[in-house]
Structure 1
């Protein structure tokens, strides 16, 4: 039984209440003083030797708030921050063609070609969010919270009235949260490791779109954890067979013994949002409630 059930009045003030009623002490409330409460003392908490406490806080804050919001299962979407919405890509191509710069035109055409992944990610998030709601499954989309494919995932969920998670990271060139994340589920991390841990703690599936170093880092950490048995197996879908097979030579890894036979089956390729959802909808976490 919770102590609050038997004692409606607190025996001790909460830390929040204590901070609100602190009396000023001009002789000690000054820079360099040790008088500040430890949990309010930013200069103390940011010391190098307090890193273990900061790691614990980055583990606990999302954990507690996600639990309070009822988020216990997610479909995680990874992919490049550089992939544009189709309309934006078309506008950039038109501007490049008007300027007549061959290099700019080539880059803009490449961006337009890749923009299909933004639209597939957006549609996948719409389909998955709506289907989970229809089946009575509180499974939400989770992304890295930034632009590109991440924005597309949060946007798709938002457009059908669903919640979605954004796990942002502090970068030298600041990543700003996209506007489609549910505010109560928008987090910011300092430590990449804890951010990646939170991606996987609640995930029932990973849907990975084309991306660069960051996307590859997230994908291969997931594959490594599953391959080594550190994490349970779950579906990993790679959007765009042509992109992934040109980027990663799985056959070479098998031929040289760098991975074991069967490791190539830890993921599968898909091309469309509908195909991806058809695969995931057969998973136990989702198929079990198909008649709900």
Structure 2
């Protein structure tokens, strides 16, 4: 089968370790399913893997990719949940299983013609969604859904700030928060990305670090060091900052005095559960909300997608078709 693999690790030049070519077809095993992949989407996780984060050299070569939609052995159209874990070990939540992993960390990922995955990780693809749309859901959109509806504890009509417009999680947060009736502020260094966020329904889009006209109930943070102080200072007393990543670094001043004096909540969020993915897919099918797709490329041109993400060109998801 044709696949996109991490063949080498390079923290400084991640794309140098990217290879395209033939790999052995996956061998069936009990409790697992083989999926014919129709579409897969790119995440920053794939770039971090090429830098060696979460993917040690002894596991190379590794097929990259977390997200996919396709057809199982029985002809069913499916969406693939990327978290491989035991719900029982996490108290009913596989994302809290200490031994959990994502596809492409311990097991080959989705950037291939065929994918071997635990059968419980397959969910029915709603017929209302295309394969390309469904392939955007399992990582970025699921992370956003879990942050917004599972962690933030907001009521419709709340005020929220999304730091860093343009990435898959940020765009999903804007789209879902607008759908839920929240007043959404967005920040970005890019004027073009701020304009696109407004087109998605954001209430206002400001340059990164600029003071908001009001304090918000929740901040959704994936940038880290570069925006942390602004996030904490943008909250109302009792507000929450929900953190799913730290792409600019994870060691900013903690602002602890402000956190305890204003009784702020700092909440970590990683991915989402299988049940949440099912609920997200159903929400998209019922409401007409669709993932924002920046570009669709054939899998054979995956390097161009990686390059665009590495240079921060995209707004929304980059999708590969098989």
Instruction: Identify the TM-score tier after normalising by the shorter chain.
Output: 0.3 to 0.5
How does the TM-score come out when normalised to structure 2?
0.32
Question: 1 or 2, which has the higher helix percentage?
Answer: 1
- The structure with the largest alpha-carbon Rg is 1
How does the TM-score come out when normalised to structure 1?
0.35
Question: 1 or 2, which has the higher strand percentage?
Answer: 2
